[in-house]
């Protein structure tokens, strides 16, 4: 039985997801809640092996359907090995990306389509949904500048400015279509301010 809560952080490159999953887990721990952080693609040994196929190499190495299937294969392993056992023992799971990234990147921007994403979701994930999804939003140029400063540019970061502009709108559309689950967080601010906004949303939605 699932006793913990499942929180996902979404958004484009450099939005601050990896920074904020750590901040949020620390904030939860400070309130006496056991919290683990994890990431997608990846988060289990098998899924991390699949991750390298997705984040390395030429931008056009996969067609959109193959890429969507690789993400869901990784996601299923991540859920089975990492996420579900944690939720079952009562821990909260804070994930750096989850299925909304597949909806936005592969489904909408890369053109695999919503229908394929939802069919694969039903097969690979089943009934599980995040309890809360925080969509970190900021202007594309600022996100890409942060990512460039961080270094180690990956395959998705190389996909170009127009790709990332469409991606931002895709995440906003996904959030608008599911307001029960998703909250858009203004990420165009310092890390402390963004962490404070996230903590307020979590306190309000999941208290």
Pairwise CA distance, residues 195 & 181, whole Å: 19
Read off the tokens for 185.
């967080």
Contacts of 158 (CB under 8 A, 6+ apart): 59
Residue from 7, 10, 19, 36 binding ligand ADP (CB under 6 A): 19
Residue from 147, 170, 175, 185 binding ligand ADP (CB under 6 A): 147
Which region, judged by CB under 5 A, interacts with Mg ion, from 17-25, 50-58, 82-90, 166-174? 17-25
Pairwise CA distance, residues 44 & 38, whole Å: 9
Residue 69 phi, psi dihedral angles, 5° rounding: -65, -40
CB of 39 to ligand ADP, least distance (A): 9
Query: Does residue 89 touch ligand ADP according to CB under 6 A?
Result: no
Which region, judged by CB under 5 A, interacts with Mg ion, from 12-20, 29-37, 114-122, 158-166? 12-20
Q: Are 112 and 68 in contact (CB under 8 A)?
A: yes
Pairwise CA distance, residues 149 & 27, whole Å: 26
Pairwise CA distance, residues 26 & 118, whole Å: 32
Residue from 4, 7, 10, 16 binding ligand ADP (CB under 6 A): 16
Pairwise CA distance, residues 105 & 115, whole Å: 14
Query: Does residue 154 touch Mg ion according to CB under 5 A?
Result: no
Residue from 1, 15, 16, 18 binding Mg ion (CB under 5 A): 18
Read off the tokens for 20.
């904020």
Which region, judged by CB under 6 A, interacts with ligand ADP, from 14-22, 27-35, 45-53, 68-76? 14-22
Which region, judged by CB under 6 A, interacts with ligand ADP, from 26-34, 100-108, 142-150, 164-172? 142-150
- The per-residue DSSP string of 31-69 comes to TT--EEEEESS-SSHHHHHHHHHHHSS-TTSS-HHHHHH
Q: Are 107 and 177 in contact (CB under 8 A)?
A: no
In the complex with Mg ion, the residue whose CB is nearer, 52 or 66, is 52
CB of 95 to ligand ADP, least distance (A): 12
Query: Does residue 146 touch ligand ADP according to CB under 6 A?
Result: yes
Residue from 70, 108, 175, 194 binding ligand ADP (CB under 6 A): 194
CB of 91 to Mg ion, least distance (A): 21
Applying CB under 6 A, the residues found at the interface with ligand ADP are 11, 13-19, 146-147, 149-150, 190-191, 194
């Amino acid at each position: 039985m699932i006793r913990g809560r499942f929180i996902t952080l979404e958004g484009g490159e450099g939005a601050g997801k990896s920074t904020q999953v750590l901040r949020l887990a620390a904030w939860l721990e400070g309130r006496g809640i056991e919290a683990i952080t994890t990431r997608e693609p990846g988060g289990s040994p098998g899924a991390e092996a699949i991750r390298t196929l997705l984040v390395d190499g030429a931008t056009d190495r996969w067609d959109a359907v193959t890429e969507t299937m690789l993400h869901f294969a990784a996601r299923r392993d991540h859920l089975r090995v990492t996420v579900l056992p944690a939720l079952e023992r009562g821990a909260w799971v804070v994930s750096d990306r989850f299925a909304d990234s597949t909806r936005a990147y592969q489904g909408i921007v890369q053109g695999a389509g919503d229908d394929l994403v939802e069919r694969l979701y039903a097969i690979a994930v089943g009934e599980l949904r995040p309890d809360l999804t925080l969509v970190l939003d900021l202007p594309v140029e600022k996100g890409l500048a942060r990512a460039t400063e961080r270094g180690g540019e990956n395959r998705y970061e190389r996909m170009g400015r127009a790709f990332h502009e469409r991606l931002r709108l895709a995440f906003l559309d996904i959030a608008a279509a599911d307001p029960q689950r998703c909250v858009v967080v203004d990420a165009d601010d310092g890390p402390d301010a963004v962490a404070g906004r996230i903590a307020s949303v979590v306190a309000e939605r999941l208290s």
